Amino acid sequence: MEKQRICIIGDGLAGLTTAIAISNLNNVKVDLISKKSKKKPDNRTTAISESNLNFLKANILRLNKKLFWPSKNIELYYETKKEKINFLNLKEENKNLMYVYENEKFKNVLLKELKLNKIKVIKKEIKDLEFTNNYDLTILCLGRRSKVYDKIIDLRAIKKDYEEIAITGHINHNLKKINTSQFFLREGPLAILPFSKNKLSFVWSLRKDFYNKNTNKIEILVKEKIKNILRIKNNVKVSNFQSYPIHLNLERKYYSKNILILGEGLHTVHPVAGQGFNLVLRDIKKLKEILKYYSSLGISIKNSNALYDFYNERKPENIIFGLGIDVTHNFFKENKYLDPLKEIILKNISKNDMIKRITKIISNQGLSI
């Protein structure tokens, strides 16, 4: 059978991972389309589940395990006027719940893997998709804002502007131990993600009005807040400080003919649960399984139901997860009428082992288990 040609447009983490994973299939030739201009370094960190790390290990043969910092403990706190309630602790003795890595270091690994897999990289500014007509499948991994999607999407997406700004950065510390933590603070949720022995990253989602009011002193507020919640006495230094607006975007249409959307263009969720790239990786895994199935039957991807199958397999979980994260975020937002009830609910959650087990399963495997 003649090799089927697949074109992946976009050289972010989603595009690079997809290209490498799919290039491992038999009878497939992958081209990656990359922008001519250089991107700014992505100094953020990302958390992924153990099942998703296993998927990466299986597809990226030269993956350095030291790049991924493991966590056996995840702690959740809720701030009231009087205290911070530690309402849920997820712990594992023999395995890790999640792993945190630096985006830019991971991207460098993927770029080296591209060359070793002999994937052709084409530098090209994307204005239209006419050049993709010679491919059996085109996969768009262009991020959330690309106007290219408008040419293939004709259904309204589920969208929401959270009117919030996410602030991220790195902090050096000399504490003996810091667990991965999520603090639902009155100003907005703050995640603490250790990624080495003496380094952690943070993601703090703040109301846009609060952020705009305190723009000139936002870094000072971050330092004081982190010192307070982690009980650090000495001064802390913030590096790689970045900020970006937060939106919810869940597309209702995934493909048109033989063109598929993947990555943030398909779904963007609130960072409060750290599930964004986990959903992307589960999408890539399922797409590879479907393409492998049709390829094994000798059926051309272009003339198959591969994209329809992918849509049916992944849309339910992506929408349920996205809306579920939205509900979770709304639940923890400050509300003077509901806050007393939330305190009662959260103080009883820690006593329920079933909730802990379900939370671990869903965060690791998703809903398609």
In angstroms, the CA 177 to CA 14 distance is: 32
Write out the two tokens for 116.
């070793």
Strand order in the sheet with 180-184: 84-91, 73-79, 180-184, 189-196, 199-207, 158-172, 238-250, 267-268
**Mean pLDDT over residues 138-149, rounded?**
88
Residue 110 makes CB contacts below 8 A (sequence gap 6+) with: 13, 16, 17, 20, 60
Counting DSSP H helices and E strands in the chain, the numbers are 9, 17
pLDDT tens figures, 29-70: 999 999 877 778 888 999 999 999 999 999 998 899 899 999
In angstroms, the CA 123 to CA 139 distance is: 16
In angstroms, the CA 366 to CA 275 distance is: 10
Residue 305 makes CB contacts below 8 A (sequence gap 6+) with: none
pLDDT at 65 (0 to 100):
86
pLDDT tens figures, 338-351: 999 998 889 888 77
> Exposed, middle or buried, 254 (CB in 10 Å: 0-12/13-18/19+)?
buried
> Exposed, middle or buried, 20 (CB in 10 Å: 0-12/13-18/19+)?
buried
The answer to whether residues 186 and 225 touch, using CB atoms and an 8 Å cutoff, is no
How does residue 27 score in pLDDT terms, banded at 50, 70 and 90?
A: confident
Strand order in the sheet with 98-102: 45-49, 98-102, 69-71
In angstroms, the CA 87 to CA 95 distance is: 22
How many Cα atoms within 13 Å fall on the side-chain side of residue 140?
28
Please state, in angstroms and as integers, the Cα–Cα distance from residue 48 to each residue in 183, 210, 360, following that order: 19, 30, 13
In angstroms, the CA 6 to CA 258 distance is: 10
Question: Using N-to-C axis directions, what is the helix angle for 13-23 and 276-296, rounded to 10°?
Answer: 30
pLDDT at 166 (0 to 100):
96
> Exposed, middle or buried, 165 (CB in 10 Å: 0-12/13-18/19+)?
buried
CB atoms within 10 A of CB 155: 7
How does residue 154 score in pLDDT terms, banded at 50, 70 and 90?
A: low
**Mean pLDDT over residues 164-185, rounded?**
93
Best-predicted range by mean pLDDT (1-5, 83-87, 313-317, 338-342): 313-317
Helices marked H in the chain: 13-23, 50-59, 103-116, 208-213, 218-230, 276-296, 306-332, 339-349, 353-365
How many Cα atoms within 13 Å fall on the side-chain side of residue 165?
14
pLDDT at 369 (0 to 100):
45
pTM: 0.94
pLDDT tens figures, 188-218: 999 999 999 999 999 999 999 999 999 999 9
Task: Please give the domain boundaries of the chain with CATH numbers for all domains.
Answer: 4-365 (3.50.50.60)
- The lowest-confidence range among 174-188, 219-233, 256-270, 351-365 is 351-365
Average pLDDT over the chain, rounded to an integer:
91
In angstroms, the CA 125 to CA 80 distance is: 50
pLDDT at 368 (0 to 100):
56
pLDDT exceeds cutoff 70 at 367: no
How does residue 1 score in pLDDT terms, banded at 50, 70 and 90?
A: low
pLDDT exceeds cutoff 90 at 92: no
> Exposed, middle or buried, 39 (CB in 10 Å: 0-12/13-18/19+)?
exposed
The rounded Cα 92 to chain-centroid distance in angstroms is 22
- Give the residues across from 158 on adjacent strands: 250
pLDDT at 149 (0 to 100):
84
